[in-house]
Amino acid sequence: MNKIFILYIIGFFVVSACTRDNDNLDVDMDSYNTDQIVPNEIDKWIMSNLTNPYNIEVIYRYSRNLADVSKDIAPAKLDKVQPMMEAVLRLYLEPYERVAGAKFIKTFTPKQYVLYGSVSYNSNGSVTLGTADGGRKVTLFDVNNFRKEEVDGDRGVRRKLRTIHHEFTHILNQNVIILPEFAEVTKADYYSDWTNAANTAELAKSMGFVSRYARMVYTEDFAEMVAHLLVEGQVWFDNYVMSAPQSAQAKLRRKEELVVQYFKDAFDIDFRVLQNEVQESFKNLYNAQDPADLTQTLGAWLMDDKISSIIYTPGASHYTEYGISTTFSNLWKTFYDAVATQTPTGNRRYLKNMELQFTSSTTMMLQFGYSSSATDPAIGFYAAYNFTFEIDPATSEIKFSKVLPEPTGGSHGNGSHARFKPYFEQYMLPYFTNRVFVADWLPSSIAEDDPLYRTFGGFYEKENPSNYFYGPVELK
């Protein structure tokens, strides 16, 4: 009975309370919603530029349950939200829209962006800068360190946009799988423990990876390739490839080919046009600049075996116009005088020029043209010497080494002659072998927009640029 009575009283109480005439049932529940937010200028910008045109929601107010609750993550600063999302708009959404069309980007772009101020620290010592969840949500960390005025560096625009393009590539791969050939290029060298100290950036490069993280698994490798090609640009990538070992260069180029093919086959996107759009946006909106193109340096041309010869001819008009190193001129005069005066009159030889003939990407024949007349400019014979050389592709630093045997036969087989060899070994050989030189387009007074640029080239002593020589360049 007690149990029934209690239920009855409670039920009655509820009914009785609901039927009171003086209760106000017209309640505005919004007044009890602690999450009710008055839109600010950031919200208005997001609505106008992202939500309305792309149906993208941006959650920047701290929402703890949208990230791993086991990690301490700071909220995003308000003054970082719009600059961060402007970069996403200008350097990712709009370039894709211009190249692939509005339907493409509206279909595939994630519809929710969640921003956090700090990085998300991982147990292996790495940090997470971004995630993409099922093609629906992108989470961006470390927003508080974003600096829109900085293009490069850890806080710069490029690093953030690499994360964006990397994560979007994963979304594309969820819709159309990566070409199977891609996973085979460096199949043996993937390394899940990529944060291991042994996996240095140089080691990753030497194996054909564009970053340390790319070694983790082929899906990350593909996303890293896309992100670096789009965000860092082709000049950067070409420089990266050129500075890698030959075996790694072939792997990187093959991966590049497969990236371009994937975008065409899967989505009918010309990757090169997309790449150019992203790069132009970086330059026009963020004042980005390409790095120096190492593929167009004299050192690169020598490594590519494009150079046939560089000729130094004393008294040529270009030395009158552009000058020549006093140090080298004095050395040449000393060598000239020694050869011209060491034999009796009538048997003397007179040097006319010095020619560096590049017989391969690693070998050179250094030959000195001469005649038996001090006044006749014609060259009758050559004293020639064999060298090898090594070039640092990143700096164009070059080191010459003397090798045997000397050239023989024809007009070049006079390097061992007593008229030349002792003086060559005394003056010119130490000059070439005791120094580190830098290959460059000399003279430096010829500007890059001058038609003569890259028609002259030469070498200056590292850390002593006043000691140099140059001459006209002949290509193969």
Q: Cβ atoms within 10 A of the Cβ of 319, count?
A: 18
If you average pLDDT over residues 410-417, what whole number do you get?
77
Domain ranges of the chain: 41-292, 299-475
Are 459 and 452 in contact by the 8 Å Cβ rule? The answer is no
Q: Which one, of 274, 250, 280, 251, lies nearest residue 262 by Cα?
A: 274
Task: Please report the pLDDT score of residue 128 as a whole number.
Answer: 72
Whether the pLDDT of residue 133 is over 90: the answer is no
Helical (H) or strand (E) element with 140: strand 137-140
List the structure tokens of 277: 């759009």
Residue range 33-63, pLDDT digits in tens = 445 677 899 999 999 999 999 999 999 998 8
Nearest to 382 by CA among 417, 348, 343, 358: 417
Torsion of CA 454, 457, 463, 464, to 10 degrees: -130
Other beta carbons within 10 angstroms of residue 128's beta carbon come to: 18
**How would residue 8 be classed by pLDDT, with cut points 50, 70 and 90?**
very low
Beta-carbon contacts of 379 under 8 Å, excluding residues fewer than 6 positions away, are: 352, 353, 369, 370, 371
| DSSP alpha helix (H) spans, 268-419 | 271-286, 298-303, 317-322, 326-341
Exposed/middle/buried for 210, CB within 10 Å: 0-12, 13-18, 19+?
buried
Specify the amino acid at residue 221.
D
Distance CA 358, CA 61 (A): 64
| pLDDT reported for residue 92 | 98
The per-residue pLDDT for range 187-196, each reduced to its tens digit, is 999 999 888 8
Instruction: Find the helix or strand (DSSP H, E) in which 169 lies.
Output: helix 157-175
The answer to whether domain 299-475 has CATH 2.40.128 is: yes
- Quick one: which of 60, 55, 53 has its CA closest to 74? 60
- Quick count: other Cβ atoms within 10 Å of Cβ 305? 14
In whole angstroms, what is the distance from residue 367 CA to residue 310 CA? 11
Q: Return d(Cα 50, Cα 55) in angstroms, integer.
A: 7
What is the C-alpha separation between 226 and 410, in angstroms, rounded?
54
Q: Please, are residues 341 and 361 in contact by the beta-carbon 8 Å criterion?
A: no
CA quadruple 220, 224, 226, 227: dihedral sign: positive
How far is the C-alpha of 337 from the C-alpha of 79, rounded, in Å? Answer: 73
pLDDT range class, residue 380, cuts 50, 70, 90: confident
At 415, list the tokens.
């390097």
DSSP letters spanning 193-258: -TTSTTS-HHHHHHHT-SSSGGGS-HHHHHHHHHHHHHHT-HHHHHHHHHTS-HHHHHHHHHHHHH
Q: Give the CA distances from residue 65 to residues 71, 81, 392, in Å, rounded to whole numbers and listed in that order.
A: 11, 19, 51
Question: Is the pLDDT reported for residue 1 higher than 50?
Answer: no
Give the containing element (helix H, strand E) for 161: helix 157-175
Q: What are the beta bridge partners of residue 472?
A: 456
DSSP bridge partners of 132: 138
Assigned CATH class of 41-292 = alpha beta
The confidence band for 344, taking pLDDT boundaries of 50, 70 and 90, is confident
Please compute the mean of the pLDDT values over residues 301-313 and round it to a whole number. 97
Taking the C-alpha atoms of residue 10 and residue 191, their distance in angstroms, rounded to an integer, is: 66
Quick one: pLDDT at residue 134?
67
User: pLDDT tens for residues 195-235?
Assistant: 888 999 999 999 999 999 999 999 999 999 999 999 999 99
Q: Residue 308 pLDDT > 70, yes or no?
A: yes
Looking at the DSSP bridge assignments, the partners of residue 68 are: none
Pairing relation of β-strands 307-312 and 137-140?
unpaired
Residues 6 or more apart whose Cβ sits within 8 Å of residue 395: 299, 438
Whole-number Å distance between alpha carbons of 414 and 408: 7
